[in-house]
Structure 1
Amino acid sequence: MARVLLIDDDAEIRETTAIRLQIGGHHVISAATPQEALSVAADHPRFDVAVLDLHLPRADGDELLDLLRHNSATADLPVVFYSANAPHATSVHGLSLADPHLTKGRSLNSLLATISCLSH
Structure 2
Amino acid sequence: MARVLLVDDDADIRETTAIRLQIGGHHVITAATPQEALDVAAGQPHFDVAVLDLHLPRVDGDELLDLFRGHQATADVPVVFYSANAPHATSVHGLSLADTKLTRGRPLNSLLATINCLSH
Describe the SS at the equivalent of 2:109: helix
Return the offset for 1:50.
0.3
Partner of 1:95: 95
TM-score normalized by the length of structure 1: 0.91
Distance 1:44 1:85, change over 3 A: same
Runs of 5+ consecutive residues of structure 1 not aligned to the other structure: none
- Match runs of 1:10-89 below 5 Å: 10-89=10-89
Task: Work out the CA distance in 2 between the residues paired with 1:57 and 1:67.
Answer: 15
Identity %: 83
Task: Work out the CA distance in 1 between the residues paired with 2:11 and 2:28.
Answer: 14
TM-score normalized by the length of structure 2: 0.91
Q: How many residues get paired?
A: 119
Describe the SS at the equivalent of 2:86: coil
CA offsets 1:36-77 (integer angstroms, 9 cap, x no match): 111111111100000001000121121110000011111111
Return the offset for 1:10.
0.4
Retained in 1: the 8 A contact 2:91–2:98?
A: no
